[in-house]
Every structure is written in C-alpha cells, then in structure tokens.
C-alpha cells in the first residue's frame, strides 16, 4: 500500500519550511493592524539606525538678515545649535502561544485574531509613549539658547475637558502660539480622548460649513481646527504615570491634550516591526512574537503646547 503525498499549503513550491507561507501571512497581518492602529508614528520626526544604542538629532537655531553697508567687513553671524541624544529603550514585544490541541478544536482561524491583537498591542505601546513625551515637550525648557526658541507652553482652562467651544478656542490659541514660535503651518496635530473629540464634533462652530468649519455632524468627524489636524485616541494620558520608561513618566492628571508640530519629538528606530514564529515540540504548539526596538525624545519644546484644566 503506497503512502499518500500531502500538499503542504504552507510550503513554498512544496519544499522547505512547512510554515513559511503561514508566517508571511501572519507577519503581514501584524504589520497591517499595527499601521492601522497607530496614530502617532507619522506625526513625529523619525530616524532609523542599523546599529548602536542611541543617536543624535540636531537642533539648529536661527540667524538674522540685515541691509549691508558697502565697504564694511562681512564677518559672518553665529548660529546657535544643540543636539538631542535619543536612546533606544530596548525590545518591545507582544507574544502569544497557540497549543496544537486548542487550534485543532477551535471552529475559526484563531491566528488571524491573534495577529491583529499583537499589532494593536505594539501600536498602543508606541502611541502611549509618544503621547506622554509630547506633553512633556510642552513642559520642557528650550534646547537652543536663542531668543527665537522659547521652551514649551501650557494653556489652562478648567472648561477644556467639558466644553467643545472652550476646547476649540484652546486649539486656536495653541496654533497661535506655534505661529509666534515660528513653527511651520503644516504638520500640526492634536490627539484627543473620545470624550473631548465628541465635544468638538457636537460644536457647530467647528463643524458648520456655512461658518467656515469642516467635518460632519452626522459622522462625528472633526478633521481640523485652526489648521491643526485632529486625531482620536484612548491613549492621551490623564493620570499620574509612574511606571514604564522613566523619561516618559509624569503627572498628567490635569492634561487634556497636546498641540504640537511634527518637529517637537523624535523617534529613533533600531529594529523596525518584525515577526518570528517557532513550533515547539516539547510544548506541542507554536510561539509567535511581534517586536520592535525604538526610543523617543524631546527635540523642540517650542513646537509643543499643553492644554490642561489646572
């Protein structure tokens, strides 16, 4: 009696690793869910290194221009500058173990759900750190000794958390502060918790197109206020954070939002998002790990404004 020759749907051209194609699908699902879930990654300055534990981000000051008097010697102006070192925090990972017997008994493809959750978990970790460091940027002193480069700014109004009109006014005031600090008019953002986002969505002065607003009351969509792009996130800190990486900790119990330009914060990547999978015979199951190695730091405090209630 001859043996059956199975068609291994996970192999490439019926040879090599029997899980090769499964891993590619899993990896793609993790990447897709990560990209969809993160709202912060493209809203800060990013740099990638191939080796090492840290990197310098240059922070360059400004110079001035004046009418030249013929015959005078041109000596050249000095431009103040500094460098901000951002360290890699270490390896951030999300993992799951799938037992063979559980997968065999299950009536749906559990790996697809797990891959989505791994990507979301990593996105939440990144967004949480970036939103904390963005608020801390608004509290930091200037990195460049130059009158055109002040430190961060805080705007206080007890109604920011409860009034859409007050919050919209605060975002406009923050945009004005960014203007006065000579920040570019594009790539400005604020992240709001759902409660505050919905306050804006119910404020007709923000949405009514006849009054120059943008968005949709029916859809609850607020794309922009005062030239600042609005994103909704559950990860805007609003408690005293005393765990995690020490440089991202702070008391955010009165914080409502940060309004920032992309240059306020830097993101350093040593290892971009990657996925590994291994079948473990002695445990009769598959271990799947998604990971990255990054670090974050304050670059330009003058590019960040904190909105708070007290």
| pLDDT band at 256; cut points 50, 70, 90 | very high
What is the structure's pLDDT at 6? Answer: 47
In a domain, 71, yes or no: no
Task: Tell me if 74 is assigned to some domain.
Answer: no
Span of 123-127, 148-152, 209-213 with lowest mean pLDDT:
209-213
From CA 105, how far away is CA 204, in angstroms rounded? Answer: 53
Residue 299 inside a domain? The answer is: yes
- CATH number of 110's domain: 3.90.1690
Tell me if 65 is assigned to some domain.
no
Instruction: Evaluate whether residue 67 is within a structural domain.
Output: no
**pLDDT band at residue 72 under the 50/70/90 scheme:** confident
Q: CB atoms < 10 A from the CB of 148, how many?
A: 14
Structural domain that includes position 190:
20-59+82-308
Q: What is the pLDDT of residue 149?
A: 75
pTM: 0.83
d(CA 160, CA 253): 13
Average pLDDT over residues 198-220: 70
d(CA 258, CA 226) in angstroms, rounded, equals 14
Count the alpha carbons within 13 Å of 292 in the hemisphere toward its beta carbon: 23
Q: Which of 127-136, 176-185, 212-221, 275-284 has the least mean pLDDT?
A: 212-221
40 vs 276, residue with greater confidence: 40
For residue 80, what are its two tokens? Answer: 């103040």
- Return the closest-CA partner of residue 137 out of 160, 149, 153: 153
72, part of any domain: no
Q: Assess whether pLDDT exceeds 60 at residue 293.
A: yes
Q: Which tokens belong to 296? A: 């974050």
Euclidean distance between CA atoms 212 and 205, whole angstroms = 8
64 pLDDT band (50/70/90 cuts)? confident
In a domain, residue 75? The reply is no
Number of domains in the chain: 1
2-11, 37-46, 137-146, 197-206: lowest mean pLDDT where? 2-11
Name the nearest CA neighbour of 277 among 295, 258, 291: 291
35: which DSSP letter?
A: H
pLDDT band at 305 (very low <50, low <70, confident <90, very high): very high
**Mean pLDDT throughout 88-101?**
90
Q: How confident is the model at residue 29 (pLDDT cuts 50, 70, 90)?
A: confident
Query: Which pLDDT does position 4 carry in this prediction?
Result: 47
Least confident of 63-67, 277-281, 299-303: 63-67
Q: Does 68 map to a domain?
A: no
Distance between terminal CA atoms of the chain? 82
In this model, does residue 1 exceed pLDDT 50?
no
Query: Is 55 or 79 the better-scoring residue by pLDDT?
Result: 55
């Amino acid at each position: 009696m001859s043996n059956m020759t199975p068609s291994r749907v996970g192999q490439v051209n019926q040879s090599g690793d029997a899980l090769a194609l499964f891993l590619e699908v899993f990896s793609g699902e993790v990447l897709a869910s990560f990209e969809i879930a993160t709202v912060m990654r493209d809203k800060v300055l990013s740099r990638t290194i191939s080796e090492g534990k840290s990197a310098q981000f240059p922070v360059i000051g400004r110079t001035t221009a004046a009418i030249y008097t013929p015959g005078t010697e041109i000596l050249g102006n000095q431009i103040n500058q500094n460098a901000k070192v951002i360290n890699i925090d270490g390896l951030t990972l999300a993992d799951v173990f799938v037992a063979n017997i559980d997968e065999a008994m299950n009536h749906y493809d559990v790996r697809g759900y797990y891959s989505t959750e791994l990507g979301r978990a990593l996105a939440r970790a990144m967004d949480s750190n970036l939103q904390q460091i963005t608020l801390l940027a608004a509290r930091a002193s200037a990195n460049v000794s130059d009158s055109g480069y002040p430190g961060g700014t805080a705007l206080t109004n007890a109604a920011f958390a409860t009034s859409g009109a007050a919050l919209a006014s605060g975002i406009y005031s923050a945009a004005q502060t960014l203007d006065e600090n000579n920040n570019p008019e594009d790539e400005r953002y604020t992240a709001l918790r759902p409660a505050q986002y919905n306050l804006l969505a119910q404020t007709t002065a923000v949405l009514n197109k006849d009054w120059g607003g943008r968005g949709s009351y029916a859809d609850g969509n607020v794309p922009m206020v005062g030239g600042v792009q609005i994103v909704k996130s559950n990860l805007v800190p609003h408690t005293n954070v005393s765990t995690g990486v020490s440089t991202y900790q702070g008391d955010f119990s009165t914080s409502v939002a940060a309004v920032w330009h992309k240059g306020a914060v830097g993101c350093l990547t040593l290892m971009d998002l990657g996925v590994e999978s291994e079948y473990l015979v002695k445990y009769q199951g598959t271990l799947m790990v998604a990971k990255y190695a990054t670090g974050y730091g304050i670059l330009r405090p003058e590019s960040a404004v904190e909105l708070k209630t007290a």
